Amino acid sequence: SQQGEEDPQALSIQEGENATMNCSYKTSINNLQWYRQNSGRGLVHLILIRSNEREKHSGRLRVTLDTSKKSSSLLITASRAADTASYFCATDAVRIKAAGNKLTFGGGTRVLVKP
Amino acid sequence: DGGITQSPKYLFRKEGQNVTLSCEQNLNHDAMYWYRQDPGQGLRLIYYSQIVNDFQKGDIAEGYSVSREKKESFPLTVTSAQKNPTAFYLCASTFSRDNYGYTFGSGTRLTVV
């Protein structure tokens, strides 16, 4: 089952522009994470935001979390051609302790940054 | 350097064959995971393990099996019961405590021939 769903599915922008993508989820979470995947490669962890946090920054990345709306956004500022990749949100749902921690991933947003 | 290694990078399977994908990490992580990714899609959880000699089914465990005999290793076997095994398989690991991100391997692309 897909807990997180990203929007848009694809995004094309010019170098230097900002890229914004959104993630919606269904159940209560401990944290929400964003990952990046270059074509044919593994995922790279970008940023984690806890359920009691509303905004977090890391370099050119800005993540917001609205638990009342069960949604998050990832903003990449001043995009570069090297930012071309797929971006996934993943949620760590509140769980029964014995179940163990596990992430549920959305379908991703494919971002193309044109030089 | 610490990391997580998947092998092989490409694997071809004939109909009716079992194949095993390797995943090894030297990050001292407790938890390990196997995900399947189909073209243009997100990741779906196959199996995961929090500690040695224990593992749980994910959302799509049918046709797969795993073992966790060592902390560092979590091999995945794709059995002949998996009817549509062609996909990109990703292994990940993390600490079994809240609020840690995953470290992913570089993936194994499995194709049925």
Residue B16 pLDDT: 87
- In this predicted model, which residue has the larger pLDDT, A98 or B6? B6
pLDDT tens across B45-57, in order?
999 999 999 999 9
Which residue from B minimizes the CA distance to A95?
B98
CB pairs under 8 A between A and B: 70
3-state secondary structure (DSSP) of residue A83 = helix
Q: For chain A, give percent helix, strand, coil, nearest 5.
A: 5, 55, 40
Per-residue pLDDT band for A100 (boundaries 50, 70, 90) equals: low
Provide the mean pLDDT of chain A. 92
Per-residue pLDDT band for B40 (boundaries 50, 70, 90) equals: confident
3-state secondary structure (DSSP) of residue A82 = helix
Does residue A1 register a pLDDT over 50? no
Which residue from A minimizes the CA distance to B96?
A101
pLDDT tens across A30-84, in order?
999 999 999 999 999 999 999 999 999 999 999 999 999 999 999 999 999 999 9
Name every chain A residue with its beta carbon within 8 A of the beta carbon of B101. 33, 45, 48
**Whole-angstrom distance, CA of residue B75 vs CA of residue A102:** 18
**Whole-angstrom distance, CA of residue A90 vs CA of residue A88:** 6
Mean pLDDT to the nearest integer, B71-98: 93
Percent of chain B with pLDDT over 70: 99
Provide the mean pLDDT of chain B. 94
Cα distances (angstroms) measured from residue A20 to each of A37, A44, A79: 16, 18, 10
Name every chain B residue with its beta carbon within 8 A of the beta carbon of A87. none
Per-residue pLDDT band for A98 (boundaries 50, 70, 90) equals: low
